[in-house]
A and B are shown apart, each in its own frame.
Chain A
């Protein structure tokens, strides 16, 4: 019964994070939400791993370990970018701002 308990708590964390990652205004909170999304999924994965009577299934554990490392690298990358970000949000003036405004382009690249 315990695995189902943790699995449902994982689902709850996942749902909260999914809701907040799209509605949160501030960049930092979006990154926290992204992290918690991963946390939720890993909770479910490990809860699933614990069920077989014969013993713990190590494969989900390995998957979660890989997942955590991937999620840490994604978070670190996001935070590094956030540190270089001027505005507070990703979406300041974002609606029309998909390349159609007139600011000088980053066209200098190769």
Chain B
């Protein structure tokens, strides 16, 4: 299955185009088929990496320095599977929802484009190509946000776009400088040549700054929150779960393959400080949000902090931990967004008070929220715990006691804001609250995603072997 990596990108692209051109009913079928086929392609890639280790696929047949090379290594394989799992289940949720059938002609192509962009980003072996994939993911995400019903959807989408654009263009300027200095765009050549010269340092600083802005790392962290809270649940799930992590994955690629030790040792502590700020700021803000979506949005800001903490630690185990946080938070936040969508549709609003005594009226969305919350607060049996454990242990091993303390306090705050939601389940339901229980409360996809987050925590061995099996070159 050498072509699997090509299919993983072309099927969602082709599916999106077909869905855009097809009628109402046809576009739903095309989208469903494309989602299924892309998942198979992702599994194919993972299988080939697990069996034969990393492999390279030059696009168009042109080898590295000139053409663009697609690489299937451990990191790419696990991320492809994560994207397939989360995007697939979110897609199932979107397609299963009869009431928004008409929207599929518009939203199905967009979330397929997002899927294709993320797949392309994860396997891409060319720093300019990473810029194009980031842009495709951003624009498709903006389209999804703009598709929401609320009065605020255009404003949220525009704000999201106008903060994402400078980020990518800063990154592009970095790419331009590096190309000016070394005349190459593939990480292998760059890794060998990039040193500590003025253009290299400026380029790396710009690329890192741009990616930090796009990943909404603290102190530039508030801009995606409005989009998360105003988007429809499907858009919110994809944005917070996957698109929010794209910039981090790009920076990990650069950090591992392109950046020299001189730069990483200098930039590491800076990113560590910003990450610590994100963890504390995000968790504290999530504590007092009156609305459920805002709590999840700020929790995503805090989780971005956990991800970027790896740059301050740098060890291989810490990377496995950070990637586990990516996987667990992708599944958990997507599940929480979908569950919130189902609850908000039944209650008419998503204020936290509405959760009171809800456990028995809407068992499935609430159970999904509880399981996903367990993963969000990184308590054992969840995959969030595995990620945080690896990061905290690496922090102690590398002597960063302060970062370890921040992560542990962050975990405690996370437990606080998750239980602030869950504790209401046991309070009796106030009489006056009407609940429109629709036939399918739409929580099944949310529950499936939450179970993925928990299952990854119970058997992390598989994912860790795949990560190591084809470890990044």
Chain A residues near B (Cβ < 8 Å): 14, 18, 21-22, 27, 30-31, 34, 37-38, 40-41, 44-45, 48, 57, 59-60, 63, 66-67, 70, 73-74, 77-78, 81-82, 84-87, 90-91, 94, 97-100, 102-110
Number of interface residues of B (CB under 8 A): 63
Within 262-291 of B, Cβ neighbours of A (below 8 Å) are at 289-291
Given A102-B290, A110-B100, residue A90 in contact with residue B162 (CB < 8 A): yes
**How near does chain B come to A27, taking the closest CB pair, in angstroms?**
7
8 Å CB contact of B179 from A34, A45, A78, A110: A45
Q: How far is the CA of A57 from the CA of B66 in the complex (A)?
A: 12
Q: A31-B162, A48-B179, A99-B294 are in contact. Are A104 and B349 (CB under 8 A)?
A: yes
B225 and A110 within 8 A (CB):
no
| Cα of A67 to Cα of B351 in the assembled complex, Å | 42
Binding site of B, secondary structure by majority: helix, strand, loop or mixed? helix
Q: Given A44-B176, A90-B158, A110-B99, are A105 and B293 neighbors across the interface (CB < 8 Å)? A: yes
Contact of A37 among B155, B166, B183, B185 (CB under 8 A): B166
**What's the minimum C-beta distance from B148 to chain A, rounded to whole angstroms?**
5
Complex contacts, A74 vs chain B, CB 8 Å = 135, 139, 161, 165
A44-B176, A99-B293, A105-B293 given; A90·B159 CB < 8 A: yes
User: Which one of B15-23, B226-234, B396-404, B451-459 contacts A?
Assistant: B226-234
Assembly CA distance A99 to B93 (angstroms): 24
Binds A, one of B69-77, B340-348, B462-470: B340-348
Q: Which residues of B contact A94 (CB under 8 A)?
A: 159, 226
- Is the CB of B244 closer than 8 A to any CB of chain A? no
Find the A residue at minimum CB distance from B230.
Answer: A106
A103–B152 touching, CB < 8 Å: yes
Report the separation of the CA atoms of residues A99 and B155 in the bound assembly, to the nearest whole angstrom: 13
Query: Is A99 a contact partner of B226 (Cβ separation < 8 A)?
Result: yes
B234 and A106: CB pair below 8 A? no
Report whether over half of chain A's contact residues are helix, strand or loop; otherwise say mixed.
helix
Q: Mark B323-353, 1 if CB is under 8 A from A, else 0.
A: 0000000000000000011001100111100
Chain B window 153-186, contacts with chain A (Cβ cutoff 8 Å), 1 for yes, 0 for no: 1110111011001100110110011011001010
* Chain B residues whose C-beta falls within 8 Å of the C-beta of A97 in the assembled complex: 226
Q: Determine how close the nearest CB of chain B comes to the CB of A5; give it in whole angstroms.
A: 15
15 contacts between A and B (CB under 8 A): A40-B173, A48-B176, A66-B128, A70-B132, A74-B165, A78-B165, A94-B159, A99-B229, A99-B297, A104-B150, A105-B229, A105-B350, A108-B150, A109-B149, A110-B233
Given A97-B226, A109-B149, A110-B99, the answer on whether A34 and B135 have CB atoms closer than 8 Å is no
Q: Is B88 an interface residue (CB 8 A)?
A: no
Interface residues of chain B, those whose CB is within 8 Å of chain A, are: 93-94, 97, 99-100, 128, 132, 135, 139, 142-143, 146, 148-155, 157-159, 161-162, 165-166, 169-170, 172-173, 176-177, 179-180, 183, 185, 222, 225-226, 228-235, 289-291, 293-294, 297, 340-341, 344-345, 348-351, 442
Give Cα A67 to B134, complex, Å: 12
Measured between C-beta atoms, what is the minimum distance from B165 to chain A in Å? 5
Residue of B nearest to A79 (CB): B158
Partner of B158, one of A44, A85, A109: A85
A66 to B131, CA, bound (A): 10
Contact A73 B349 (CB under 8 A): no
Whether A66 contacts B158 by the Cβ 8 Å rule is: no
Q: How far is the CA of A55 from the CA of B233 in the complex (A)?
A: 52
Report if A107-B344 is in contact (Cβ < 8 Å); known contacts: A30-B162, A48-B180, A90-B155: yes
State in angstroms the CA–CA spacing of A60 and B176 once bound together: 8
Query: In the complex, given contacts A107-B341, A109-B148, what are 5 additional A-B residue pairs having Cβ atoms less than 8 angstroms apart?
Result: A27-B162, A70-B132, A78-B158, A105-B344, A108-B344
Complex CA–CA separation, A81 to B132 (angstroms): 21
Assess the A98–B226 pair: CB atoms within 8 A.
Answer: yes
**Most chain-B Cβ atoms within 10 A of its Cβ — which of A63, A70, A91, A110?**
A110
Residues in B neighbouring A106, C-beta threshold 8 A: 148-153, 230-232
